[in-house]
Amino acid sequence: MVLLTRALQPVPARPGDLLPRLAAALDGSGPALLPYPAGPAAAGIVAAMQPAVPLERDDVALVVPTSGSTGEPKGALLTATALRHSARATLERLGGPGQWLLALPVTHIAGLQVLVRSLLSGIEPALLDLDRGFSVEGFAEATRQLDATGPRYTALVPTQLRRLIDAGTDLTSYDAILVGGAALDFTAPPTVVRTYGMSETCGRCVYYGRPLDGVDARIEPDGRISLGGPVVFAGYRLRPDLTAEALVDGRHITQDLGRWADQRLEVLGRADDVIVTGGVNVPAALVERVLAGHPRVRAVAVVGVPDDEWGQRVVAVVHARGPVTVEELRAFAADRLEDAALPRTCVAVDELPMLASGKPDKEAVRNLVAADRLR
């Protein structure tokens, strides 16, 4: 019998306080950590993770709350070995240690990994005050406070990057800006590194379509992406049922559809975000990426709505620079999408509703479409 003794300690997600505790969690001198956010959601998250119950494994350093696409609270069990491998592989891919600006909340793995990489580098990170939300001015000021010597890094979600670019913020001092969470629908500086990954892989583990060292990415027979290697999580906290679905033979079976293009992994979108129209499966994210290239489209989300003839109708919800018609969008995308994937309706909005992760809030987008159809 193996006696499990590792304690799980809920801690407020305050970067300055979390950094020394994270160091102790990684080297085993302190308990595993459960970072929780401020606000009313905290009590529910902590209760769901049951910190009084012993951890499933003594090598777990972090339990990272994640809701995935269902909204159901889950806790990804991340070992110290997996976290360190992810951090080291990222630093090697970027060209070596440097100073990081933490501009993301440490309730999510992307923000936590900024701290892990900083600990492994032995370089104190700069911390952007996010108590009142992200601001362009605050980011610019924090950037000016970074060490003038050595590489500079940061990690952002697409919404933050767009705001910085729209404001004309000088980003040239950064050697790399990691961006994940959604496909970019705008032109980004050359130092932006587009990434893919999730809490279950200790954060982003595919950079510009190429897996980090030690990471094995595959496309399963059903089209879903699976990820293997030392970065993969150890299961979900107290949920063996969910673990059995998501962790098969040591591989994380994601809910993302993908394909290989020019030996690079291309993420087509969520398996549960496929529009079935006229009997054809259309990944919404693929349509979004193509339509985002239209010169007047600032941001776009694509959803399916019930249709008597087609089963589902492909609808593009567009934040544009001036008027854009559905005929223009169809003509623009005709040589890159099959006919079934071309939008049949276009709904114009002043701003797309977004999640904190930087992804479009698809439920809110569907509500906008429903409201537009009732007008």
Half-sphere exposure of 208 (CA within 13 A, CB side): 9
In a domain, 321, yes or no: yes
- Residue type for position 342: L
Which tens digits make up the pLDDT trace of 213-233?
A: 999 999 999 999 999 999 999
In a domain, 2, yes or no: no
How confident is the model at residue 357, as a pLDDT?
A: 65
Average pLDDT over residues 342-359: 86
The count of domains in the chain is 2
In a domain, 38, yes or no: yes
Provide the b/e sequence for 250-278 (b: ≥16 CB within 10 Å): ebbbbbbbbeeeeeebbbbbbbebbbebe
The residue written with tokens 């160091």 in the block is: 23
What DSSP element (H or E) covers 374?
helix 362-374
- Does one domain contain both 292 and 176? no
CB 92, CB 51: distance < 8 Å = no
Domain boundary among 239, 268, 297: 268
pTM over cut 0.75: yes
Query: In whole angstroms, what is the distance from residue 198 CA to residue 195 CA?
Result: 10
Q: In whole numbers, what is the pLDDT of the chain averaged over residues?
A: 91
> With bands split at pLDDT 50, 70 and 90, how would you rate the model's confidence at 19?
very high
Domain boundary among 235, 268, 301: 268
- Does one domain contain both 223 and 310? no
Phi, psi of 267 (to 5 degrees): -90, 120
In a domain, 108, yes or no: yes
Domain span at residue 359 reads: 273-374
Query: In whole angstroms, what is the distance from residue 269 CA to residue 291 CA?
Result: 15
In a domain, 3, yes or no: no
In a domain, 1, yes or no: no
How confident is the model at residue 375, as a pLDDT?
A: 58
Average pLDDT over residues 1-26: 87
- Does one domain contain both 169 and 223? yes
- Does one domain contain both 302 and 253? no
Which one, of 345, 289, 303, 348, lies nearest residue 324 by Cα?
348
Provide the b/e sequence for 80-109 (b: ≥16 CB within 10 Å): bebbbbbbbbbbebbeebbbbbbbbbbbbb
How confident is the model at residue 72, as a pLDDT?
A: 65
- Does one domain contain both 12 and 113? yes
- Does one domain contain both 210 and 64? yes
Per-residue three-class SS string for 350-373: CCCCECCCCCECHHHHHHHHHHHH
- Does one domain contain both 184 and 45? yes
CB 256, CB 270: distance < 8 Å = yes
Which tens digits make up the pLDDT trace of 291-319?
A: 999 999 999 999 999 988 888 999 999 99
Q: Which long-range contacts (CB under 8 A, 24 or more apart) does 10-18 make?
A: 10/34, 10/36, 10/46, 10/49, 10/51, 11/35, 11/36, 12/36, 12/38, 13/37, 13/38, 13/105, 13/106, 13/107, 14/106, 15/102, 15/106, 15/111, 15/115, 15/125, 15/127, 16/127, 18/106, 18/115
- Does one domain contain both 197 and 324? no
Q: Starting at the edge strand that comes first in sequence, how are the strands of the sheet with 60-66 ordered?
A: 8-12, 32-36, 60-66, 74-79
- Does one domain contain both 45 and 72? yes
Domain at 251, CATH number: 3.40.50.12780
- String of DSSP letters for 245-276: HHEETTEEEEEEEEEEETTEEEEEEETTSEEE
Domain boundary among 246, 268, 290: 268
- Does one domain contain both 212 and 357? no
How confident is the model at residue 70, as a pLDDT?
A: 44
Which tens digits make up the pLDDT trace of 185-200?
A: 677 899 999 999 999 9
In a domain, 231, yes or no: yes
- Does one domain contain both 152 and 278? no
Provide the b/e sequence for 139-176 (b: ≥16 CB within 10 Å): beebbeebeeeebbbbbbbbbbbbebbeeeeebeebbb
In a domain, 191, yes or no: yes
Flag whether pLDDT at 182 surpasses 70.
no
Give the three-class secondary structure for 375.
Answer: coil
Domain at 348, CATH number: 3.30.300.30
Provide the b/e sequence for 352-369 (b: ≥16 CB within 10 Å): bebeebbbbbbeebbebb
- Does one domain contain both 48 and 197? yes
